[in-house]
Amino acid sequence: MRTYRVITQPAELEALRERLLAEPVLGVDTETTALDPYRGHLRLLQLATRSEVFVLDLFVLGRQALEVLRPVLEGERPVKVLHNAKFDAKMLLHHAGIELGRLFDTRLASQLVAAGDMAKRHGLADVVERYLRERVEKTSQLSDWSGQLSSEQLDYAARDAEVLLPLRQALIEKLKELGLVRVAKLEFECVIPTAAMELAGMPFDVERWQTLVEAWEQRRAHLEEALRRELAQGVTQANLFGQVEINVNSPQQVLTSLRQLGLPVEGTSEIDLLAYRDHPAVRLLLEYRSVQKLLSTFGRGFLEHRHPVTGRLHGDFHQIGTPTGRYSCSEPNIQQVPNVPEIRACFRAPIGRRLIVADYSQIELRILAEFSQDPKMLEAFLNGLDLHRMTASWMFKVPPEEVTKEQRAIAKTINFGLMYGMGAVSLATRIAEVRDGVGIPLVEAEALIASYFEIYRKVAEWLRAASDTAVSLRQSRSQSGRLWRFQFDPTDREQVAAIQRLGKNFPIQGTGADILKRAMRLVYEALRPYDAQIVNSIHDEIVVEVAEEQAEEVAHLVRERMIAAGREFIKTVPIEVDVAISDAWTK
């Protein structure tokens, strides 16, 4: 490792600033006293040029050091190279109000180059070893950074910054080689909006949540008692006290009890029970499991995630959380909060503020229409028609105004299902759900699919070509060039079928992720003059918290920017964004 300079004298800062501003690219890293920006502080700022490394002790220099270096950190030049830039960006934004300018995130770049291989690790040490064949020592990472620093800690900090520049160069070569430059730019521009969203956090009404959980617990107890009584009717022998002890959480005991009630069930999964949902025991069992799942996932444990400083929920958003490029979220997963009014009502804006909930309307179907250029699908979207109703009208050969609710639901199932590679068996199962357990023969499901593709012939052609490409090239891409490379045995029919399904869906869902990432940046930029902030993002939805008096104006702006993002990827199909202003996370 090159020697490095530890900067502790304020008099050195202005000369350092001018030196750094002359650089085209700069390695940047921080060391902090905690991982949580609300409970930790910035201790070191490490800056690496092509020839030197500087380590700034911010406890000695004070916040003024960051003010002097603000032009370096916020400017378009030099390009800032960081690993997991979201973390450092949050720290700098929270503690110094510094928003990193043009950046290159070696972690995100490594994830893109991995091309859907979720088994690969992307910690700094892993990425350096993979691309530079060097070893980075990480034993000091979790040491105490609040006291007197050791030479080992300073060495570690300097090395983490120094390695970023050669690592960037190696990753740039891979990004170019794989055609990932455009999507890399898209991801890098989304880092700051993601960091700001995490910092803002989602507003959370604890009292409402506690009341809701208590109601769920009472409902669970009532359902459990009623279910025990119902299942006990089928048991031939009781215990010595004349009572039947049935563990309703035991699949085997439940299965035995259901069979003793005369139900020829093969198992206790929801699919197995679907045909018997009208039976009292099955109806109680399904409802009990539903409430039990709510409590296990979103019960009292969810309250532990309420931040003690802000009172909000600060999810950890993983920017490339899936191979399709979608976000995932954890600690807590506020993306997967059920879209149930009584649950969403617990996420409420503070007094004097409102929530804007904006989501793309049928964005994946619009992407499919764009890719396939199917005339029937284009006709529906270009004329602002209800695609599901029109699909039902064409399939069932009835006028649009005579389409029944059930017919539209079946058409909707097919519209969304076929681009995920849904076959006749899956369609029959889903139609049974739509029709309250009343299924259809497999041959009828096959006929519905054939009818659908007879109407949407260009869709059929595009899906077939996309699946064939995935198998023949062993890869698939989104509109931005996002890449998923597939590993499979071409002699295994099941594996080939799985790749064919991914080949159909990935370009669509991946492009949806591209659009959302672009929208995040455009919306974030548009919110600067307002008292507003992004607080959540869910696949095709952005949630913004705003001062009440600015809500109408900002809602219009959010819709406008989201449409603009969509138009960068979809040229011929209209983009629609549904926007609602509310006190809570509801539409």
Cα–Cα distance list, 388 to 170, 467, 587 (Å): 48, 24, 21
d(CA 314, CA 86) in angstroms, rounded, equals: 14
- The pLDDT, as a whole number, for residue 140 is 79
- The pLDDT, as a whole number, for residue 523 is 98
CB 73 within 8 A of CB 28: yes
Q: Is the dihedral of CA 260, 266, 267, 268 positive or negative?
A: negative
Q: Which residues are within 8 A (CB) of 314 and not within 5 positions of it... i.e. 6 or more apart? A: 198, 199, 201, 202, 305, 307
> Quick one: which of 359, 312, 355 has its CA closest to 334?
312
Instruction: Specify the 3-state DSSP secondary structure of 355.
Output: strand
Q: Going residue by residue through the chain, which has 587 residues, state the pLDDT in tens, using 9 for 90 and above.
A: 678 999 999 999 999 999 999 999 999 999 999 999 999 999 999 999 999 999 999 999 998 999 999 999 999 999 999 999 999 999 999 999 999 999 999 999 999 999 999 899 999 999 999 999 998 887 778 789 999 999 999 999 999 999 999 999 999 999 999 999 999 999 999 999 999 999 999 999 999 999 999 999 999 999 999 999 888 886 654 444 445 678 899 999 898 888 988 899 889 988 788 778 889 999 999 999 999 999 999 999 999 999 999 999 999 999 999 999 999 999 999 999 999 999 999 999 999 999 999 999 999 999 999 999 999 999 999 999 999 999 999 989 999 999 999 889 889 989 988 888 788 888 877 777 766 656 677 888 888 889 999 999 999 999 999 999 999 999 999 999 999 999 999 999 999 999 999 999 999 999 999 999 999 999 999 999 999 999 999 999 999 999 999 999 999 999 999 999 999 999 999 999 999 999 999 88
User: What are the helix (H) ranges across 115-150?
Assistant: 124-132
Which domains are seen in the chain, by residue range?
5-178 (3.30.420.10), 206-302 (1.20.1060), 329-362+514-582 (3.30.70.370), 364-512 (1.10.150.20)
Q: Cα 12 to chain center, whole Å? A: 43
Instruction: Specify the 3-state DSSP secondary structure of 547.
Output: strand
Burial class (CB in 10 A: 0-12, 13-18, 19+), 388: buried
> Quick one: which of 28, 168, 114, 130 has its CA closest to 322?
114
CA R_g for the chain: 28
d(CA 342, CA 325) in angstroms, rounded, equals: 30
Q: Which pair of tokens denotes residue 525?
A: 């930029």
> Quick one: which of 340, 254, 252 has its CA closest to 297?
340
Interior angle at CA 583, CA 334 and CA 567, nearest 5: 65
User: What are the helix (H) ranges across 335-455?
Assistant: 341-344, 363-372, 375-382, 387-396, 405-418, 424-434, 442-455
- The pLDDT, as a whole number, for residue 279 is 92
Burial code (b: 16+ CB inside 10 Å, e: under 16) for 258-277 equals beebebebeebeeeebbbbe
Burial class (CB in 10 A: 0-12, 13-18, 19+), 326: buried
Ramachandran assignment for 421, one of left (phi > 0), alpha (psi -120 to 50 degrees), beta (any other):
left
DSSP 19-56: HHHT-SEEEEEEEES-SSTTT--EEEEEEE-SS-EEEE
- The pLDDT, as a whole number, for residue 436 is 63
Cα–Cα distance list, 439 to 190, 278, 421, 424, 432 (Å): 45, 14, 20, 12, 4
Q: Which residues are within 8 A (CB) of 207 and not within 5 positions of it... i.e. 6 or more apart? A: none
Instruction: Specify the 3-state DSSP secondary structure of 571.
Output: coil
Q: Which pair of tokens denotes residue 58?
A: 């911010």
Q: Which pair of tokens denotes residue 2?
A: 């090159």
Task: Provide the pairing of β-strand 483-485 with 475-477.
Answer: antiparallel
For the chain, give the number of residues.
587
Task: Provide the pairing of β-strand 25-32 with 79-82.
Answer: parallel
CB 585 within 8 A of CB 243: no
Q: Please list the residues that pair with 82 across neighbouring strands.
A: 105
d(CA 309, CA 179) in angstroms, rounded, equals: 44
Q: Which pair of tokens denotes residue 461?
A: 């052609």
CB 483 within 8 A of CB 112: yes
Count Cα neighbours of 519 within 13 Å in the Cβ-side half-sphere: 34
Q: Please list the residues that pair with 57 across neighbouring strands.
A: 44
CB atoms within 10 A of CB 158: 25
Q: Please list the residues that pair with 265 across neighbouring strands.
A: none
CB 432 within 8 A of CB 274: yes
CB 369 within 8 A of CB 377: yes
> Quick one: which of 182, 188, 24, 193 has its CA closest to 105?
188
Count Cα neighbours of 172 within 13 Å in the Cβ-side half-sphere: 8
- The pLDDT, as a whole number, for residue 1 is 65
Write down the pTM of the prediction.
0.93
Task: Provide the pairing of β-strand 103-105 with 79-82.
Answer: parallel
- The pLDDT, as a whole number, for residue 240 is 46
Count Cα neighbours of 268 within 13 Å in the Cβ-side half-sphere: 20
Cα–Cα distance list, 192 to 103, 244, 554 (Å): 10, 59, 20
d(CA 587, CA 583) in angstroms, rounded, equals: 10
Q: Please list the residues that pair with 406 across neighbouring strands.
A: none
